[in-house]
Each structure stands twice: as C-alpha cells, then as structure tokens.
Amino acid sequence: PGWAPKALAFCTLPAHHQRREVGWTTGAMPDGDDSGAALLSGGGDEQIVFTEEEWISEAMKSSCSANMDEQLKEFSQEERDALKMETYQKIYANMGSELPPAQLKNAIVLKSAKFHPGMVVFMMVITLGLFTFFRPKDDDTILVLTENGRVYLLKVERPNAIGSDISAVLWRIVRILLLVFGILVAPTAVWMVFGEKAVGDMPEDFNSEPFLQKELDIDRRLWEKLKKSTMLLTAGLAITIIAGAIWLYRNWPADYATRSRQSFSASNICSIQYTLTGPKVARKLVMRLFFGKYPTQASLDTAGLNTGCSAGPVPPAQLAEPSAASEGSGGSNSKSAQKEAEQSTNFSPAFVTLLTIVLAFVTTADAAFTWWDRIVVLSHMATVHEFCTSVPNGDKGKDMCSKSVCRAWAENINFDDAFCMGVHWLDDVEDPEIRSSCLSYGHAEPPCCGGCMAETENVVGDNAFEVFRTILEVIGDIGTLLFSLVAAKYALNVSTSSEYVEISCQRPPSCGGLLSIRPIQDFSMIEPLALDFLSKMFAEAWESTEEQDVVADPTSEDTSGDKDRGVKSYVEDLESSSWEDFLKDKSVVEYNLASNAMTVNIPREALGLHNPDKNNPLHEEVIAAWSEMEKMKISDLGPLVLNLLGVFVVVLIGLNIFLPGQKLTFGGHTLVGGAKVIEAAGAAIAYFVLHALWIYFVEFRQLMHAVVVTDMRIFYMRQKPRMLFGSLFGWDLRVDAFRHDRNVFYGRCKNTSMPLIMRWLGYRYSPGQTYLQCKFGAMQLARMNGNAMDVFHVISQLARRDSYVDDAKLKIAGCSQTILDECKKTVDKGMFIAKTGVWDIHLQPTDAAAKSPDVYLCNKEETPLFHWSGTETGAIESAYNSNTDVIVTTDRVFLWQRPVYKTFDCKTCLCWGACQCGCLNKLYEANALGQTISFLSYSALLSFSSETQVDPPLITNPTYPPLICPCTDEGCATLTRCVTGEGCSVNWDKCSLLPRRPQPRSQLYLMWRSKFNAQQPDLTCVVRPYQDEATMMPTDPDDEDDGIGSYAFSLMEKVGLVGNDPDADVPSQELMLEGGQENKKKTVVSQKVMEIEILRRLMAAVQAAKS
C-alpha cells in the first residue's frame, strides 16, 4: 500500500519475442543485470519483474477482468477469455512498462478495419491487383482506465495512398481529376499555343465537326507528329516512369504510422459524445471524451445529426450580452458597463455573424453589378456569331458583309443591332490575326466576314495580358466572398477548446459466416464495454458532497395538466443493456396518440447512469427529462442561399457552353442571354425550394430530441431513422453528455412569447431559453415546446450549498440584530412559502404578470434573508417600464426582471400612441411579455457594487426639460389623470407662471458581478428615478466654486426669476408609479432608500462571512 512508480522506465524486448519481460522495482537496478527485463525504479529494495505470461496472468485477476465478465455475461467463457487475452497482449506490448496489471480498472482495445471486404474485392478488380500492394494496415486503439483515476489512450493510425479522412480523399480525387483533365486538353493547348505548326493543316470541314471529334483529330495529328520525334517520345516516357516510381515509393504500404499517446486525469472529464451510425450490418460507434472545459458546439456538431440544438455549450461571453435582460431594463447602460464594453477586445458571435452577412451581401452585390454587363455581352456572343458564320466566302459574301445587311438581319430576329458597327470584310491572306479571326468564324482561310464579336473585346480584352487581368478579377471577387465566410467561421469557432480523445469501432462484415471476426473487432462485445467505461470514468470523477435531495417537484402549475410540456414526462428503462438492444423495440421519444403526449425513454445502463440502486450513495438520480421538436429558422436556410448562387452560376455557365444558340421569344422580343439567365434563376429557385422541403421533412420532422438531467450530468439525445418516414434500415443516434457535478453557480431563464396558434389552442406554457454555468463552462437549454421556467426550477436545485451564510456569521461580519430584523420584515412583506422548499413573490401593483415565478431552493436549509423590489422607468423611446425583485438567501442572490407596459402620459402621448402603439396594449396579453430570472451563488460572486448616475435635463425629453412651466405641467398632469381614470381635478396651487428648474435625472445601478464573466445585464438592478441625500443636494459642499452657470441659476432663484421644484424631495414619475398617493409619497421614497442601504450592508456582510 502506498506504492507509487517513478517516471523512469526501461523496456528491452529480445529479438525472438518469445519471452518478453516487464518489471517494476522498488530499489535500484543491480549492477551487471543483463536479463533483458523492463524495470521501473522506485524507492526501497524490492524488485518486481514480470514476463508477458506473468503480466497477463496478473491482469486476469484484476478488477478489469471481473468487470469484463460482468458486462459480457451473455457470451461464453471461452469468448470472454479470448477477448481478455488479446486485450492484455496489446496493452502489454504497448504500455506494459507503464501500467502494473493490478492497476487496470477498465480497458478497451480496438482494431479498425479500413476497407470492407467487398471494397477490397472491388479495388482489386479495378486496379488489376495493385491494391494488394498498396492496401494499408488497420489502425489500433487502446483505452485504459486505472484504479488511481488515470485515463490512457494510445492510437496507431496508419495512412494510405488516398488519405486519412474524407477531406483528404476529396482533395486527392480533385487532383487526380485535374491531372486527367490536363492530359486530355494538353493536345488542344499545344494547338492553341503553337498553331498549325504543331498539328499540321486542318481540313476545311474542321469547324463543322462536333466538339469531341475535333479533340480526337487534334490528338491524332499531335501523336503523328510525336512519332516522328524519337527524342520527345523517349523524354516523355522517361518522365512518366520516374514520376510513377516516385509515387509508388511514397505510397508503398510500409509500416508508416502516427502513434499518439495521451494521458488524462479522470477528474478532469467534462463532456462525452457517443454516436451510433450506419446500417445494422456496418454499425459504427464513435466515442469522444472531452477534458477541461466544455467543447464548442461546432466541435460537437462535426459528429453529425446537427440539425437544431436543444442543449449545448455556449461561450461565456454570450451570458453578458445586452439581450440577457428583460425588455425595458437598462442594465447595460451603466457607466462601468459601457466603459468595460469599450475596453473589451472580444466580439460577440451575433456581431461577427451580422458583420459577415453584411460583408457577404456587399461583396456579392458588387460582383453581381460588375459582372452583369459582361455576362449579358458574353451570352450574346452565340447570336452575333451566327451572322459572320452565315456569310459565305467570295464576292457574294463581300456584298452581304455590310452594316445595312447586318441591321436587317438583327431586325428580322428582334435583336439589338449595336454589334453591326464592327462588321467588316477581312481579305488580307498574309495577316495571321485575320487568319485566326476567320478560323474563329468557321472559315478555314480569308477572305471572310468578321468583327461580329468585337464588342466582347471590351469585356475579356483584346490581348493575352488583358485576358489575364480579367481572370484575376474573377478570382479576386470569388476569393473575397469565400474568405469572408471562412474568416467568419474561424472567428466564431476559435475559442478555448478542450482536449479530447476519440475512439471508433465499426462492425466488421462476416459475409454470412464465411469470415471470422477477432474478439477485439466484435461490435457486440465492444459496445457494452464502451458504455461501462464511460460509467466507471464518471464515477471516478464524481466529487462527493453531502446528501442533497431534490427539494420539490419542478413542474409548475402552468404545465401540471400537460405533462409533456413540463420536465417530468419520462420513463426509466432498466432492462436494455446497450443502445443496440434499446433501439430494437424503443426510441428515445415515444408519441402516444391517445393522450397526445410525448414521453422520454431513459435507458439507464445504455446512458451509463451508475448504481441503479437508490439506496446506494453513488446512485445517479434522474431529476428531469423532456422532449423537444425543433423548428426550422431563417438562419437554417443560410447555407442554401450560397448553394442557390452556386447553382445559378453553374447552370448559367453550362448553358453558355453546351447550348450557346438557345433563344427565347417573349413579348415579341428574342432573348439570348436573358433566356439563359431566366433558366438559371428558375433552376436555382427550384433547387432552393426542394432542398428547403427536404431539410424540413427529413432533418427537422424526423429528428427526435430529448434532454435528461441527473444530479451529475446533462444528457442530450438525438435519434433519427435512416430511411424517410420509417425505421427499416435502423436508427442513427447521438448522445452528448455534460458534467456539472451539482455545482451550478449561475442560472438564468428568459421567457419568450408563445406562438399565436398555440395560444389559440389554449396552451398556457411559456417557452424560452435557460442558461447555466459551472466550472466546466456555460450551457444553453432551449425549451420551445414547454415551460422554460420548469427547466430553470431544475437548474436552481443543482446549485451546491458550499457558501452557506447564517445569522451568526452575519453578526460576526458586522450585521447588527436591527438590520437582521429589518431583513426578516422585508421577507415577510414581499414573499410567502408556496410549498416545502419553494418560495413565491408578492406581485407589485403595476405588474402585468399573472403569477410570479417560484424560487426553488437548493436544499431544505437554504432560506431567504432579504427581499427588495424596485421600478425602473424606461427610456423615452422604450414602450416598457421594468420591475425588479431582489431575493438574498443564505447561499445565493436571485433577480427577477419583467417588463411593464407604460401608461398614458400627456407629455409623451405622441410617442406612446404613434410609435409605441400603446393604445393597442389591451389587445395583447401582458402576461406573455418576456421575463428574466437569474441567480448567482456566493461561491462565484466577485463583487457587489452600486452606482448612482445623475444626468442633466434634456431639451429632447419632455419629462425632464431644462425648464418647466408649472401651469403647463399641471395641465398635462390633469389630462393624464382624466385619461387614466384617476379624476380630472386641477391642483390650482401648482399653477404658477414662474418657470422652475426640475431636478436632474438620476438612477441607481445595483450590480452583482461573477468571477467568470463580464458585468451581466440580468444581474444588474436599475432604479429610475432614484433620489437620496446625495442626488438631492443642489451643490457639493466640498466645492467652493460650482461654476458661473450654477451661480447664475442660484442668483435668478434668489431674485424670483426662476423657482424651485416644490416637490423636490419626490420626482413626479415616482408619484405616477405609486398611484398618485401624495400622502404616502415621502414614506415610500424613504422606505426604498432605507431598504437599499440595508441591502448594501447585508451584501458587505455576506461577502465577509463567506470568506
């Protein structure tokens, strides 16, 4: 006990490989020892030396062997022993010098075949047997979990002549195709460069021959020329032989391999991904283990089945976006938040996406306008080419080759006759340019009619240099567009990535029992071992905590009637031992036609949930599960737009190449280039529509989504049939698991408006997005077909109680008993117990919400300490005010923000009625407005700060102008009271002709800051207007001189030119928000100020107590 090997190891393998020895020693190696054993030196004098047989014999007694026997009970003892023998032989040969056999806890050895036997036969036939020499060896993978919590991975990847992945194969195929194309067009290129000197004189009917016949004639003529030059033939043959020999040498299947060895601590595991794809006869399993931080969603989506995302990691910067707060909240407008945003060098994914879309649109529009004229002119080439081709040689042709005849010809076909200005007769037989021009119009030699295509010289140029410049412009335009897309993808995906290991196993074919399968290639034996490996590894990584049971059922009253709209519509399956067994008769989501409900099936053993016995302390409990039906969004059609442009360009180029003379008569006009554009646009639109329908019915409607939350992990399962509307060919499965260890220190839920059709059908749930953050990263859980608040209730109970603060600690930290008593009064006044472990909040008079969200505590000992509620008057351009409740508990702080419709105000009636359509607010359900509720644990609390911001009055703000006329102000207030039904009485005491100066605009920001993020708007409470002694003070007593402006205003007040605000202690907006009860206004304001001061002292004591 306590033995620990050092890092120094020696391994010697004799050449005969009959007796291999590996050893560990607890003392120094003896001098002169030449036994050939592998030794590991440690402290002490004891030396342990194992041969291969002894090492395997000891491994057969390890817990790894017992675990294999337990997981493979359905197989015979001989099959299990054969698998263990081959597994331990591979481990000994590659890791025997590092791993003592007694340390083995779980082990998987895989040999991945690169080619199917059928593919081997096919390649042998088409390569005439050469594939035998170039067939690469299979890859090996060894994955080991030790008793001390280490994960070892050894991968031996052997490349082949084609490539190791699909991208390499595609590029190799493209290069081969380009080589073949170059060989085919080489004779034509020689003829174009050297002319008839290289291939001889062309026959007179050469231009009338088909395209393929022309190529064959050129090839034949060039071959005849080459046969006369022995030197050229010999040089070409020698170059071909040398190039082939080099290629054969480079791709010879020697034992070239990449051997990668990785070692991780099981405690650092953060996420796993498990996929099953392919038909039943060629099933493929891919398992990826991620260590450190959560991987990016883009990395996970490379595994396939990436349509929609109901649960997945997000960048932590996304938690601090301005959209995190509810409507009407100005949490991101504080000076500190704006200063932090200005100093930040990070760009949000939304900003990068918007910038990419704008750049792509501008680039595409610029290229389209630049090349539109060129495309039209080039498409006219086929038509104008016909006139010069139809004019015969000789004197008759000379008479026909005139501008008048050309105009008549163009008028006859309803075509533009602008090209006729360049038509002229070519009769200089000696001029090579004229001979080439006549040849392009189908005439073997001059004289001929030419100049029909002179207009195209302005497009592509009249010499080689200008043509080269034109080609560079095309490449530049296309390259700019592609670069913007690639740069955006890089910017969105580059983040702090996690380390991971990957293993894959594919079911080898047996060809009806004709081929034998090695144990380490048997898919039915590997899959249970892989699932058990995941379970054991997470059990090894589990951070033990005190017992924390789920406090209450997270299902809210809104979804109690529709069970599948909540988070408790699931059934645990204890019978299926693997995913293959589970998918034979079941699916992850089952739809019940009788009850019109969807139920999630949770196979415990297949998911790797350890210890099904609830009495076991390591039992992994399922807390919640729900199913989702992803909806297709506009952003999902983004790639189709690029494909649409590609189809348009390809079809347009194809029509110009293969159907150059195609015409379309429309409205008495003959369209040549326009016809091709219309046909290409029609083909692109048809492709777009058909592809969109395919994505909707196949990718979205056929894909099942299910999320399972346990007290240790979050599972996201996706299942899709391999055949449209059926499961005849099996199912594809993807499972993403994310570890949280019941240590979620931040959570947020933001509701969104339910679709109108769902409200008409009587559904009462509130969809939305839920976020959580733990030490491994941040995650987003989308609940669009159910109540998102239920998901937040689940997340609220996953917080760990590691920063408990009680009254005794608060008193030690400086909180007096008077402050604690006042805190209890705020809790009694603003909250009540809904059920055990669940508290509720009393609504404010101005709230539009029908019910406040429940506050679920993480355990039975967590209790609320303080409650405070405040109101933020929205900016003049906003249609909402915002109410905020702050709940401080013994472990966390909760903030509930919700928008409130602004009421009618005479001063802002034009903006309220015309811009914000406030008169229509009664037609909409105010309860459907989005709400935001968040919590932050004290373990992640960096700071609590408050910021009082005082701004001068604005001439553009009718509520706070630089000067107020009391008569006009009271008239607006009277009209406001009449419209809102509060009476039409006029307070004549306030009707003064003397203008007065209003109080400055002031607001208070209360900000809780997380250690791991920037300042988050949802953790910021804004009180507007806010006035205390500091903001009410007209001048600073510490300043001897407040400036000329302040002195002038004070002087005017003294002489009576300008009056003071008679209600300076209470702003007018506060009166409106409190219902106009003037007799209670001072009490309300002073009470709010006092509660804020208590909150400051309480948070200071909390921070001191938890440290």
| Integer Cα distance of 23 and 41 in angstroms | 9
pLDDT at 1064 over 50: no
Question: Which residue, 888, 894, 890, 892, is CA-closest to 806?
Answer: 890
Residues above pLDDT 90, as percent of the chain: 12
pLDDT digits (tens, 9 = 90+) for 819-836: 888 889 999 999 999 888
Paired strand residues for 590: 599
User: Could you tell me the pLDDT band of residue 780, with boundaries at 50, 70 and 90?
Assistant: very high
Worst-scoring range by mean pLDDT, 64-78, 119-133, 374-388, 743-757? 374-388
N-terminal to C-terminal alpha carbon distance within the chain: 38
Task: Output the average pLDDT for the chain.
Answer: 76
Contacts (Cβ under 8 Å, ≥6 apart) of 1092: 868, 946, 1004, 1006, 1023
Segment 100-152, tens digit of pLDDT: 888 899 999 988 777 766 777 777 777 777 676 667 777 888 999 998 888 99
Q: Where are the alpha helices (DSSP H) in 96-130?
A: 117-126
pLDDT in tens, 509-537: 776 666 677 888 888 888 888 888 888 88
Letter for the amino acid at 585?
D
Helix (H, G, I), strand (E, B) or coil at 887: strand
Express the helix, strand and coil content of the chain in percent, nearest 5 each.
Answer: 45, 20, 35
Residue range 50-55: average pLDDT? Answer: 85
Report the sign of the C-alpha dihedral through residues 528, 530, 533, 534, in that order.
negative
The confidence score (pLDDT) of residue 631 equals 77
CA distance readout (Å), 499 to 137, 266, 412, 534, 988:
27, 13, 72, 17, 75
**Which residues, at least 6 apart from 798, have a Cβ–Cβ distance to it below 8 Å?**
623, 709, 711, 740, 742, 743, 744, 747, 772, 858
pLDDT band at residue 2 under the 50/70/90 scheme: very low
Q: State the residue for tokens 């048809």.
A: 686
Report strand pairing: 880-889 vs 892-901: antiparallel
DSSP codes of every residue in 253-298: --S--EEEEEEEEGGGEEEEEEEEES-GGG-EEEEEEEESSPPPHH
pLDDT tens profile 241-273: 888 777 766 666 656 677 888 888 888 899 999
Under the banding of pLDDT at 50, 70 and 90, the label for residue 551 is low
Tens digit of each residue's pLDDT (9 = 90 or more) over 944-984: 988 888 888 888 788 778 778 888 888 888 888 888 888 88
Which has the higher per-residue pLDDT, 817 or 129? 817
Alpha-carbon gap, residue 583 to 599, rounded angstroms: 15
Rounded CA separation 721/730 (Å): 6
Q: Which of 1104, 444, 1080 is nearest to 810 (CA)?
A: 1104
Asked if 849 and 840 touch (Cβ cutoff 8 Å), the reply is no
Tell me the C-alpha distance between 298 and 296, whole Å. Answer: 5
What is the identity of the amino acid at 871?
Answer: T
Identity of the highest mean pLDDT range in 310-324, 549-563, 718-732: 310-324
Comparing 402 with 454, the larger pLDDT belongs to 402
Residue 87 pLDDT greater than 60, yes or no: yes
Contact 325, 931 (CB under 8 A): no
Q: What gap in Å lies between CA 483 and CA 188, rounded to an integer?
A: 34
As a whole number, mean pLDDT of residues 166-179 equals: 66
Predicted pLDDT of residue 725: 55
* CA 869 – CA 846 distance, rounded (Å): 12
Cα–Cα distance measured from residue 80 to residue 741, given in angstroms and rounded to the nearest whole number = 34
What is the pLDDT averaged over residues 161-176?
A: 60
Greatest alpha-carbon pair distance for the chain in Å reads 120
Pairing mode of beta strands 1001-1010, 284-291: unpaired
Q: Using one digit for the tens of pLDDT, what is the confidence trace for 365-377? A: 776 666 666 666 6
Sign of the C-alpha dihedral computed for residues 1091, 1095, 1101 and 1106 taken in this order:
positive
Q: What is the pTM of this model?
A: 0.75
What is the DSSP code (8-state) at residue 99?
A: -
Among 755-769, 877-891, 1032-1046, which is the least confidently predicted range?
1032-1046
pLDDT band at 635 (very low <50, low <70, confident <90, very high): low
